[in-house]
Amino acid sequence: MSEDGTRLRAIRGATTVESDTSEQIGARTVELLQAILQRNALAVDDIVSVILTATPDLTADFPAVAARTIGLAQTPLICSQEIAVVGAMGHCVRVLLHCYMPVDQAAHHVYMHEARQLRLDLQE
């Protein structure tokens, strides 16, 4: 815990896209990140870094491009490819967001669209 009553936390999230287009990847990534920020009452300045992954079937754009459009241009971002596991969900963008949050505030992980199936235990 820091002196200001906050703690470094990691928040998970995922979404799916309907097709491998820059527009779909961008729109769904923005939707997911905005939902994470809203549900966790986070400001851009609270964010330390963001790791974004995409399944191997998404090649039209980098999810980080979309993240920059919502104010994360100065936030360290990195994209990587998910492991290609046979039978795994496709067309999926995942997020691991590191941020400072009040110690007594619970983290709310966000799973949207078909990605809800990845973590049924976290559905609100």
- Catalytic residue set: 12, 68, 79, 82, 94, 111, 119
Whether the CB-CB separation of 94 and 47 falls below 8 Å is answered with: no
Q: What is the 3-state secondary structure (H, E, C) of the chain?
A: CCCCCEEEEEEEEEEECCCCCHHHHHHHHHHHHHHHHHHCCCCHHHEEEEEEEECCCCCCCCHHHHHHHHHHCCCCEEEEECCCCCCCCCCEEEEEEEEEEECCCCCCCEECHHHHHHHHHHCC
